Every structure is written in structure tokens, then in C-alpha cells.
Structure 1
Amino acid sequence: MSADISLAVSTAIFALRPHPDTGLSALWIPLVRRTRDPFENRWALPGGWVSPDESLSDAAARNLLETTGVEPTYLEQLYAFGAVDRSPDRRVVSIVYWALVRPEQADAATDGDNVRWFLADDLPELAFDHNLIVDYALWRLRTKMEYSRIAHAFLGPTFTLTELREVHEAVLQRPLDPANFRRQVEPTLVATETLVTGGRHRPPRLYRYDESVRLVDNGPLTIATPRSTP
């Protein structure tokens, strides 16, 4: 790569957390406040430079851990963003990843003055072209939700059909007919012998995904354990 072109990675991380107004599950994304120019004090996607001796996915995982404390179980390469004018001080090509985390992983992430969770569909003006990147990542997530089993990344190893449907509804932002949804997803699931007891209605059965089938068509990528930095 030419010396006057820098290579970076950025990651859009999605988690399902309660909406502050409705209490229903909604997509959230963590952002990092920039502490220097360009775009000082503006929010941006977590990311950083790629070291000469690490792969792109290793760099993405390392930068996530260093900036947000998040260690995602799902990480997939999204797109390369390299418009000539995307950075005002140099030519930067960013390899963008997107990650999905479960609620407990999101709750354990860094949250403070310089790292904060935002509703993914209601973001402020971000640094660089990061609003465009988030829009593209949301489009990719919602498209995959229609034809793949990517919802697995938001759930634990077992779940009820209602929990699975609520994930789809939160991501797609529309209600789904329970009966139709059940018919569509049951062929991809394995019913366990466990029932969820303690409720007032008939105990729902727990399901798991059939692990003999890949989660999605293009992922997840293998994530190496991030190396600590001096």
C-alpha cells in the first residue's frame, strides 16, 4: 500500500436493549467520543489502525476490546470505505466490520464519558462517514434477518419461539404473526426436552439452532483472542 494511504478498521456493534420510551427491545450501538482532531468531541464508531503484523479481523477484535471492552461472538466483514475525501487530513481506507452481542455482553461493556450506547436508528451526526456506515450495517443486518439465522447471535444457546420472534421484530421494526413465524423457523430449530415453568400460561418449550447448518452464509469469521498492548 502506498505510504500516503493509511489502513484502519472500524466496527459497528449491535445489541438489543430496552427502548427508553417503550421498554421494548431495540437496536443499540456503542460509539466512542473522539478526543482529538479531526472531529474532536464528535462521536464515532470504535476502531483504529491496523498493525503491520496482524490480520484485519484481529485488528478489529483488538480495537473493540481496547475502546469498548466488548468481545463479540459474531464478527463479520461488512465493506471497505475509501472515498478520497472521507478524512480531512489524510487518505484513509477503512475496513468495516459489524458485530452482534447478547444483552449480557452489552451490559458488561465500557460505558462512560467517552463510550456511550445510542439507539442505532437515532444517531447524532458522527465523525467522518460513520452515519453512512451505520446505515449500511443496519441494512445488511435487516436483510440477513429475512433469509438467514443471524438472530442466533442475540440469544443464548437455548430460547423460546417467543424470544426468537421478539428478536426478529426488534431488528425488522415490525410485528410478525406468531403462527406464520413458527412455521417459517421451526424447520431450522431443534426442540429440547426443557420447558420454561413458572408462568401463568402453558410452559413454552426451549429450542436451539441446528448446529449442523452454518449460522449465516458469510460468517461468522474466526476471531482470535486480542493481544494486550504495552
Structure 2
Amino acid sequence: MGNALQKTIQQLKSDNREFFHMALSVDCVIFGFDDNELKVLLIKSDLEEFHDEWSLLGDLVMPNENLDSASYRVLKDRTGLDDVFLEQVYTFGDVNRHPAGRVITTAWYSLINIKDHQLSLAHNELHWHPVNEISTLAFDHKKILDTCLKQLQSKIDEHPIVFNLLPEKFSLRELQSLYESIHGTKLDRRNFRKKFFLMDWLIDVNELEQDVPHRPGKLYRFNADRFSDGKKENVQEAQLH
């Protein structure tokens, strides 16, 4: 009797046609840090409805593709990058978020050192943009960007992920400037430095900055060994690149 109540896959699809005609996509929010500004990688939209508007890097998920595979494909195809860690943040499914129909997208974000990653520009309209200068984007990409930024802001005080945005050696001035650009606010210099020395996240490399317009400051590097024992999650996050 139980078998009589069971549906075949064909019956399921026939009874729910509208549910099997939705598309999935991925959008990648790639953060970088340059000229004391937090930046995000954007591309000009190729849809007529969003003519001359900027958008995040994204694409539809192929029928035979996993979500994470799709995100890395997008990144590789558009930038040539294949050695960065992408973290899934949130899924956006507003009914009218895409003009072509129902498209549900999953957002991923990553942090890279701009100077260490030479982008292979497959499109001449791919550029880094200061996050604080972005007011609108195509689709609902401003909402996606803001969500990923909030995720970043919520993690940087407890997880050492910001070091992926910096060169191997950096000054405390650079580090504070990075935190200020992410939080969008000025931080007290003395309290900021005290906090980092207490956390033991930094190692003094006994070198000074070179060719800077101000008094050279000491250089530091990230203390990766600090997260090598019993903190698997932090180790992964500390090695996003």
C-alpha cells in the first residue's frame, strides 16, 4: 500500500514544473587593500538592462556543477586566479532580483593581497574599486557586497584573516589603516597597538620601512605559529591566500 502512494521522479517533476525552472548562480566578492583603501573587484555588466553599471563577478551554475566548483570557475575564468580561498557567506533569493527570471544566488568572499596577485584580465572592464565609493551596483549586488563586508567586519577582531590583504612584511601604520578602512572609522593609535601586542599576532622582523614619506616604522609579519595548535579553523582562515 505504501508503494501505491509513492511518486516517480517524472511525476514529481510533472506536478511541480514551476519549481524545476529556477536558476542558481554564484557571486564572488573579492576584497583587496591598496593605497590605504579597502577595495572590491568589479566588472561592467554585460546586460542591456544594466548598461554601464558595475557588478560583482558571477555566473549561473551549470547543471552538472557544484556551488563551490562554480565559484572557483568564475574566479578562474574572469581573473586567472586559482589559488585563493573562497568562503560562502549567504544565499540571496528575492523573487525579482534578476530581470531574466527567478535566480537564487550564493555569495562567496575572499581576501587577497593585490600586489601579490597579478590578474589575467579576460575582460577590459575589470577593475578594483574603493568600497566606500560604491553607492549602487547592478542587480542586488550592493546588498550582497554590504552583507559580505559585515561578515568581514564581524570576524576581523577575533580571526586573523586580515593578514591576507597585507604583504608578508607590514608596518603597524599599514595594519591600523587596514582595520580603519574595513570598519569605516578612525581607531585610537595607542589602544590599537596595545591590543595587537597583547594578542601576540605579530612578530617583529627587526626591519624598518623603506622609501616612505614619513618616519620609517618597524616591520612585522603575521605570527602563524600562534594558530598552529588546536585551532584548525583559525589556521585555515589565516591562510586564505
Q: TM-score, normalised by structure 2?
A: 0.75
Larger Rg: 2
User: 1:162 is matched with which residue?
Assistant: 173
Structure-2 separation of matches of 1:110 and 1:92: 27
Alpha carbons 2:56, 2:141 under 8 Å: kept: yes
> After superposition, where does 1:6-155 map in structure 2 within 5 Å?
6-18=23-35, 25-71=36-82, 73-105=84-116, 108=119, 110=121, 113-155=124-166
Residues 207 and 124 of structure 1, relative CA distance in 2, 3 Å threshold: closer
Q: C-alpha root-mean-square deviation of aligned residues, in Å?
A: 3.2
Long gaps (5+) in structure 1: 19-24, 224-230
Bigger relative CO (Cα 8 Å, ≥ 6 apart): 1
Quote how far apart the aligned CAs of 1:119 are: 1.9
Residue in structure 1 matched with residue 187 of structure 2 by the alignment: 176
Measured after TM superposition, the shift of residue 116 of structure 1 is: 2.4
Number of residue-to-residue matches in the alignment: 217
Name the CA distance, whole Å, in 2 between partners of 1:136 and 1:89: 23
1:21-74 Cα shifts (integer Å, max 9, x gaps) = xxxx11111212222344344321111122344432221121012123344634
Would you say the 8 A contact 2:180–2:186 is kept in 1?
yes
Unaligned 5+ residue runs, structure 2?
A: 1-12, 14-18
Q: Provide the C-alpha distance between the structure 1 equivalents of 2:75 and 2:62, rounded to a whole number of angstroms.
A: 14
> Sequence identity of aligned pairs in percent?
25
Distance 1:27 1:215 in 2: 27
- Shift in alpha-carbon separation, 1:111–1:50, aligned structure 2, 3 A: closer
Give, in whole Å, the separation in 2 of the partners of 1:39 and 1:94: 18
If the length of structure 1 is used for normalisation, what is the TM-score?
Answer: 0.78
Amino acid at match of 1:8: S
TM superposition shift of 1:8: 0.7
Equivalent residues of 2:161, 2:238 under 8 A apart: no
